[in-house]
Structure 1
């Protein structure tokens, strides 16, 4: 430091130790100005009585002629000290004679998104990444993510006109504005928005990278039950949890497709609730979950071209209208087979990652190159007895462990719905008993979900489904009454269907001594009502298993499909389907499912040929009376 002489007869004396001059960034406001400190100012106007100076874009004032040490023009720089804040808010400065000094740049402090609620009504600066740009009928809304959360920042031009057209997704920006509340939620009204580039942008990304990784890191709760078979899957589930959390932080929507049955509901509802709560914790915008997450049931046991076409259409519209990224597709209790690949290849034309959590027999060679993450017990030498609902309960807890108390009964519902014979079922049933459910009540929950889902068709059911499952439900009595009503209706409709169908069930004894039952569900069962053909076949099968106590195979068929169920017979339905594709020329065979339960499609004119060929294969199958069946793979 160099000692500074007194100013003399004009200007003001340099305060003791006043050898540092502060250069305010353009976005600093009056909060960064203090009496006794020295500032670098730029002349922005010259009048007879002095000069007007800017310390920043927001801090300006007058240096009166009597306090000037020289003559200045617009654009000249000088050193000033705050003299007075007048009653009307105007600032008066004195020039300081300071021939030698050091300059220290003062940058406006960046506020954290998580702290915005504490500074409502104040001006702030945010630095972060733009993860969504949404054009409304009024302002343009930029969702900006820092290391603590994501905040909506609004900019106004003309109504419905895009503000800051040069700003794009993934840009690093500095937002100056004022914190306000709208309908109880915090947002920043933009005064200025700058795109940072080069080293400035990289510095922000680097500073926030570790915090972003920490926010994406999943939780590691203790498993609900100790189960060695399940432990093989925990690493895969953890990778999915981290992927989903990170995609939400990056502003990517999630489109969740799930099989429309009990296990599919037990998988998707916990995931929906956990992801919604993570979004609510991360985004200041209370409507964020509505835009970032959709749960959609799929009737078919694979991802149909109809579904993918609808999904892509909605996604592309949302990208155009709301500035959203294309979504991540999350497939639950579905999505592991070759039948899914045409739809997946359609998505491959776009930036749509695909994540699958499923327990149906997979075709990893067909789907492997099309999926970003794939969790399936068969990939670890396990099988369908680890249901998707069981996996997704643990996955949901990795995303939000606070959901645990609401989910303790759900794995048992999933297991009973899909007839899991896993060793862990006794432990899951005990967990449910601790929550007040006996086995009969759990079965009723599964039936209620299946019944409601049938009538909802392509609708997700919203609160009705969450109430039936008793997840995110605020009224236990309503849940119990709803389940009782739906399960009773389901039982009534099943009995009516069996009364109509049973007289038309054909029986024969196969060469391996298994009972074979056939039912034409197209002509000898009520159509377009509950239960659907797959469920009807399953109920007929259960009745015959109980009646005979022997190995049983049941086929429920229509004009161009057949639903298959087996107990005590070691079938391999996915393999049989592959063989029929090769052996039945012109059959148009497709399908799959579990090893002992599945569905097959074919062309109408080849029904008899396909089914006869199938029965021949079943007659050669090995009898294993200890082998049970899994859930009915419904084909509507």
Structure 2
């Protein structure tokens, strides 16, 4: 028995089961079967194949990191043979083949410790931890004190040396320096002041993330192996730190010699300095919208506020999680925000992998932020706060978050105090997003009928980071399937994207959004939307989109039924009987196409397209009906059908399967009554 090097609890060895995935293992065994599934191992790139990368995790022990396990395309990896990498062992097969998984942590210091695993045991590394300057000073002082019979240096209650005895002598008192200047001060002793924004305990030192008004840097403090240094200092404390600037694995780090929490006037001075700098830095540049568009101009202030909230999160070392609708316009908007935020994350943090820790983009398969999505997010953010002392993230809901379907999910975030921003073009239900930091919705301005999510996402992105304005200027046009406003067509053409190319992008992204909609596809979407050189890729995927959609339209057209009521023409497709429901296109995309292409060819009057399944009816209309109103009226006509609404404009109604025909009749009558 022993004690966990991270939490100190009793364990069968140096690590408990709860923290096995938090430490790095170096494998010194000689057979694959000696590896432990689930653990993260240090490895060396052995070679490449079309299907993945071979990684040596020990002497004569090689596993395969299949390309499907990567978070990027195989050809995008910047690994070379012989490079040190970090992987997870997913499992060892009976024949000895090792399946490896991707590790987002690609730096040894990102793990909370390092252990050696041989054929039989797991134990702490035999390497002596590097002695810090404060320890050398303390050792020297104690040695001098012993030899001269003088008292030893003063220590705090946790054994950390305090007072002037811990600081190497300098010719003059150290002046405070800004963290952004540390790259020019490698090898120097410095004094920095700021807020602790993260603290993690490794099997060696404690690593504090310290932020001042200019940047963030990691500061390593050592007491003894696996023991928390300066336990009286925690995340959120304002501190003064003295240490030596070093380069470790080509990344800046300060070797801590003294760390003091500030109080009273000193604390207030630093807090005010940070607040003023944060306010100045987070304030978006005073830039114009991408195009003159009255519906967007009416909410320009909200766009600037949303950009400011996102910029502030980056500066505060708060992760930004973009949750967007899994549609072409949702992906375009989310990708625009990603394009703007990632450079700011890289500028703010010295860590090479910071963009994977402080930004994530996750599509919403159903187009709403429901309890399932919120529960997953809450679980992840609480785990990250517990394991890595991360701040709760800022959630940015794109093309979602304004209707009652998202209310429970948003309430869950609010209970935990996780801030969120809503950027949405759906007609809002009353008070749904009232807990949001900022709401960007054109229906809260003059009108939202001609605004797509991609328009809002691209405009917010341009205000977050004006350097990407030209990169995202074509994206507003990607979000329109028909009647694209001329200003956005011109904007795309000026950026080098003609109408045919924009159409190909829209269709390609829509197809990719359908398949594996729970993944962000960061690299693929980047190639499609931002790489002119990859135009052939968009054309190739777009051709698949058109082929699949046209085949489904050919199947649907002979099976359409047409009904009239009060001067309204209803085109009804039984999607349960006459579509391939588990392949592209989705019911929503198919109905949009049916309504857009006016399959019936009936001129004049109002046209409504209905997709009828066993327990739901999707509604598409020329004028955009509010399904909340339709459901209320239909319930009165068919009280036994259990009719409820999902969405607002052109959404769907759900009903009990046994009341299918009654529900359809009630919906048709209710729609015709409100369209005229």
TM-score normalised by structure 2 residue count = 0.73
Give the structure 2 partner of residue 141 of structure 1.
Answer: 207
Question: Deviation at 1:467?
Answer: 1.1
Change (3 A) 1:292 1:487: same
Give the structure 2 partner of residue 605 of structure 1.
Answer: 658
Give the structure 1 partner of residue 516 of structure 2.
Answer: 456
Question: Deviation at 1:369?
Answer: 3.2
Equivalent pairs counted in the alignment come to 530
> Which residue of 435, 438, 463 maps to 1:398?
463
> Which residue of 291, 314, 317 maps to 1:248?
314
Q: Deviations over 1:425-450 (max 9, x none)?
A: 11111121122222222111101000
1:535 to 2:535 alignment: no
1:490 to 2:490 alignment: no
> Which residue of 474, 492, 496 maps to 1:436?
496
Q: Deviations over 1:81-121 (max 9, x none)?
A: x9xxxxxxxxxxxxxxxxxxxxxxx6421221110110112
Q: Distance in 2 between matches of 1:328 and 1:211?
A: 20
> Which residue of 570, 574, 577 maps to 1:520?
574
Q: Distance in 2 between matches of 1:210 and 1:468?
A: 40
Give the structure 1 partner of residue 293 of structure 2.
Answer: 227
Give the structure 2 partner of residue 271 of structure 1.
Answer: 337
Give the structure 2 partner of residue 554 of structure 1.
Answer: 609
- The more displaced of 599-608 and 554-563 is 599-608
Question: Deviation at 1:527?
Answer: 2.1
1:45-56 alignment, distance < 5 Å:
none
1:571-586 alignment, distance < 5 Å:
571-580=625-634, 584-585=638-639
1:328 to 2:388 alignment: no
Q: Deviations over 1:485-514 (max 9, x none)?
A: 1100011111221222222211122222x2
Q: Deviations over 1:161-210 (max 9, x none)?
A: 44332222210011222212233322222222221122221121123332
Q: Distance in 2 between matches of 1:607 and 1:179?
A: 72
Question: Deviation at 1:157?
Answer: 4.8
Question: Deviation at 1:130?
Answer: 1.1
Q: Distance in 2 between matches of 1:151 and 1:536?
A: 51
Give the structure 1 partner of residue 102 of structure 2.
Answer: none
Question: Deviation at 1:60?
Answer: 6.1
Q: Distance in 1 between matches of 2:258 and 2:639?
A: 68
Change (3 A) 1:52 1:323: closer
- The more displaced of 584-593 and 253-262 is 584-593
Q: Distance in 1 between matches of 2:241 and 2:668?
A: 69
Give the structure 2 partner of residue 300 of structure 1.
Answer: 366
Q: Is the 8 A contact 1:122 1:179 kept in 2?
A: yes
Change (3 A) 1:202 1:510: same
Q: Distance in 2 between matches of 1:591 and 1:281?
A: 45
DSSP 3-state at the match of 1:300: coil
Q: Distance in 2 between matches of 1:58 and 1:241?
A: 43
Q: Distance in 2 between matches of 1:333 and 1:601?
A: 22
TM-score normalised by structure 1 residue count = 0.77
Q: Distance in 1 between matches of 2:258 and 2:483?
A: 59
Q: Distance in 2 between matches of 1:591 and 1:144?
A: 49
> Which residue of 182, 197, 205 maps to 2:248?
182
Of structures 1 and 2, the larger Rg is shown by 1
Question: Deviation at 1:295?
Answer: 0.6
Structure 1 gap segments, 5+ residues each = 1-26, 29-43, 62-81, 83-105, 624-636
Give the structure 2 partner of residue 503 of structure 1.
Answer: 558
Change (3 A) 1:583 1:235: farther
- The more displaced of 445-454 and 211-220 is 211-220
Question: Deviation at 1:420?
Answer: 5.3
Q: Distance in 1 between matches of 2:226 and 2:613?
A: 53
Q: Is the 8 A contact 2:330 2:399 kept in 1?
A: yes
Change (3 A) 1:413 1:59: closer
Q: Is the 8 A contact 1:511 1:620 kept in 2?
A: yes
Give the structure 1 partner of residue 101 of structure 2.
Answer: none
- The CA RMSD measured in Å over matched residues stands at 3.1
Question: Deviation at 1:545?
Answer: 5.1
Q: Distance in 2 between matches of 1:328 and 1:55?
A: 41
Change (3 A) 1:324 1:236: same
1:20-35 alignment, distance < 5 Å:
none
- The more displaced of 334-343 and 555-564 is 555-564
Q: Distance in 2 between matches of 1:339 and 1:52?
A: 65
Question: Deviation at 1:347?
Answer: 2.3
Q: Is the 8 A contact 2:303 2:460 kept in 1?
A: yes
Q: Distance in 2 between matches of 1:353 and 1:581?
A: 37
Q: Distance in 1 between matches of 2:597 and 2:637?
A: 33
Give the structure 2 partner of residue 169 of structure 1.
Answer: 235
Q: Is the 8 A contact 1:134 1:324 kept in 2?
A: no
Q: Is the 8 A contact 2:180 2:215 kept in 1?
A: yes
Q: Is the 8 A contact 2:190 2:243 kept in 1?
A: yes
> Which residue of 461, 479, 486 maps to 1:426?
486
Change (3 A) 1:308 1:52: closer
1:278-293 alignment, distance < 5 Å:
278-293=344-359
Give the structure 2 partner of residue 31 of structure 1.
Answer: none
Structure 2 gap segments, 5+ residues each = 1-132, 135-143, 154-162
Q: Deviations over 1:236-287 (max 9, x none)?
A: 1111111111122222222211001011011111101211111111122222
> Which residue of 330, 353, 359 maps to 2:425?
359
